[in-house]
Chains A and B, each alone.
Chain A
Amino acid sequence: NAGVTQTPKFQVLKTGQSMTLQCAQDMNHEYMSWYRQDPGMGLRLIHYSVGAGITDQGEVPNGYNVSRSTTEDFPLRLLSAAPSQTSVYFCATRNTFQGEQYFGPGTRLTVT
């Protein structure tokens, strides 16, 4: 079991570029989410999904898009990167009816 995987681990973008952060899980969890973590701050929820075809916004959704076409994958898209999106991004999954979340290793994104 790989658990939760994220790619890439590191990425540098120029302002205005677009990219997709990948998240995949093999635990058959319905719930998946994306967080960002900035220095000295906790994790802030960007978007989440409670199942294939169902997504919703978290605390800080602006500038990010998501879709959920399969149970396994939950990509996060940055359509036009901005320096304010420089952060570490974590993907997480859980069984819908339990509180324990499983986190991926993170993607460190720098936007110049």
Chain B
Amino acid sequence: LAKTTQPISMDSYEGQEVNITCSHNNIATNDYITWYQQFPSQGPRFIIQGYKTKVTNEVASLFIPADRKSSTLSLPRVSLSDTAVYYCLVGGPGGYQKVTFGIGTKLQVIP
């Protein structure tokens, strides 16, 4: 699986847009990029997945540049309930057999 690098922590005020960037320089051609969210005392929850360009759902947007060596998770107008750890994963359908989450990015939303 491609190694990923993301910031350990971020702070944001309520109502702001938050962008978390993940670097994955050795991403393979058939790899997808997936983001998960984890609240304290809960298992991770799938947020969004993409392959290239931009993907948007009701929760977030995922921006992937043409070279796919990085990706940015965008959370619009965050609230206190968005305080969580966010994980970036890279892998293909077959490569997901061994999935490691890394430390993730701890987002703290401030009132």
A contact residues vs B (CB 8 Å cutoff): 4, 31, 33, 35, 40-45, 48, 50, 56, 58-59, 88, 90, 92, 94, 96-106
The answer on a CB contact under 8 Å between A48 and B97 is yes
The answer on a CB contact under 8 Å between A103 and B45 is yes
Query: Within 8 Å of chain A (Cβ to Cβ): is B111?
Result: no
Partner of A106 from the list B36, B41, B46, B93 (CB cut-off 8 Å) is B41
Q: Given the interface contacts A41-B103, A43-B101, does A101 sit within 8 Å of B93 by beta carbon? A: no
Q: How large is the interface on B (under 10, 10 to 19, 20 to 34, 35 or more residues)?
A: 20 to 34
Contacts of A40 in B (CB 8 A): 103
The answer on a CB contact under 8 Å between A99 and B49 is yes
Contacts of A58 in B (CB 8 A): 98
Count CB-based A-B contacts (< 8 Å). 61
The answer on a CB contact under 8 Å between B98 and A48 is yes
Q: How far is the CB of B33 from chain A (nearest CB, A)?
A: 9
The answer on a CB contact under 8 Å between A31 and B97 is yes
Contacts of A44 in B (CB 8 A): 100-101
* A101 and B46 alpha carbons, distance in the complex (Å): 7
Taking CB atoms and an 8 Å cut-off, the chain B residues in 70-111 that contact chain A are 87, 89, 91, 93, 96-104
